[in-house]
């Protein structure tokens, strides 16, 4: 069994179990993943529409740009799926998960500002914000929410592009030469008769032995 077949085995096991997967990898209709992402995009767009005149356009634009880059990434992965580059897709599963998480969080922060800003304005009216926040705990709460939302979208969301760059560049070292042998963490030992023995072990801190490479 070659490397590609080994990595496809978990997918095939899931497909044979209808309880764990409603549709199989082979039988899923083309574009199913894209359709799910389009629904995700639509929900965010609906939230963005409600922010008009409430949230600073700067933050709306940042989320829109992030979503556009996310869409490009999903399309790239869809093309990889179509040519069955399973190994390459699995190699970027973690950064993809983190990227999706960040976009989802940005969506929630955008929605949060849409709700919090009108609440804060109703409490402050024409009064100075600092004076109201100092004496009104409810106003202080909404002010804190808005600042947290702005901070996430304006600073933390920028890390998203690092994850997407990781996915889009497709560093080959992650998958090239991937095999069980190079991840054993041990070197084989040569016996007197020229035969290969088991892995070489050496103790760490004088306690339990740990597999590893020999040190000269």
| Range of lowest pLDDT (63-67, 149-153, 175-179, 200-204) | 200-204
Q: Are residues 158 and 203 in the same domain?
A: no
| Range of lowest pLDDT (15-29, 37-51, 126-140) | 15-29
Q: Are residues 190 and 152 in the same domain?
A: no
Summarize the confidence of residues 71-96 as an average pLDDT. 88
Q: Are residues 46 and 130 in the same domain?
A: yes
In a domain, 72, yes or no: yes
Report how many domains make up the chain.
2
Q: Is 196 helix (H, G, I), strand (E, B) or coil?
A: strand
Highest mean pLDDT among 21-25, 36-40, 66-70: 66-70
Q: What is the pLDDT of residue 215?
A: 43
Q: Are residues 138 and 158 in the same domain?
A: yes
CB 199 within 8 A of CB 184: yes
Instruction: Quote the DSSP letter at residue 83.
Output: T
Q: Are residues 203 and 167 in the same domain?
A: no
Q: Is 206 helix (H, G, I), strand (E, B) or coil?
A: coil
Residue 22 CA to residue 28 CA, distance in Å, equals 9
Residue-range definition of the domain harbouring residue 198: 184-216
Q: Are residues 121 and 189 in the same domain?
A: no
Residue pointed to by tokens 């760059």: 165
Task: Kindly report, residue by residue over 49-61, the tens digit of the pLDDT.
Answer: 889 899 999 999 9
In a domain, 5, yes or no: no
In a domain, 74, yes or no: yes
| Range of lowest pLDDT (7-11, 51-55, 108-112, 135-139) | 7-11
**Structural Rg of the chain based on CA atoms:** 26
Task: Kindly report, residue by residue over 145-161, the tens digit of the pLDDT.
Answer: 999 999 999 999 999 99
User: Torsions phi, psi of 203, nearest 5?
Assistant: -75, 150
CB 154 within 8 A of CB 55: no
Contacts of 178 (CB under 8 A, 6+ apart): 3, 87
Q: Are residues 54 and 114 in the same domain?
A: yes
């Amino acid at each position: 069994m070659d490397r590609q077949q080994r990595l496809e085995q978990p997918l095939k096991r899931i497909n044979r179990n209808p309880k764990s997967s409603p549709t199989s990898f082979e039988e899923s209709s083309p574009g199913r993943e894209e359709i799910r992402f389009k629904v995700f995009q639509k929900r965010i767009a609906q939230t963005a529409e409600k922010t008009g005149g409430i949230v600073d356009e700067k933050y709306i634009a940042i989320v829109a740009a992030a979503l556009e880059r996310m869409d490009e990434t999903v399309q790239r992965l869809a093309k990889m799926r179509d040519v069955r580059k399973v190994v390459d897709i699995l190699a970027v599963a973690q950064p993809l998960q983190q990227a999706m998480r960040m976009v989802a969080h940005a969506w929630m922060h955008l929605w949060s500002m849409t709700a919090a800003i009108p609440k804060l304005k109703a409490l402050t009216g024409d009064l100075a914000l600092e004076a109201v926040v100092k004496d009104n705990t409810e106003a202080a709460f909404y002010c804190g929410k808005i600042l947290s939302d702005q901070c996430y979208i304006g600073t933390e969301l920028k890390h998203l592009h690092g994850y997407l760059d990781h996915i889009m560049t497709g560093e080959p070292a992650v998958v090239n030469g991937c095999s069980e042998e190079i991840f054993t963490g041990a070197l084989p030992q040569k016996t007197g008769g020229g035969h290969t023995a088991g892995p070489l072990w050496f103790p760490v801190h004088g306690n339990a032995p740990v597999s590893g490479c020999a040190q000269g």
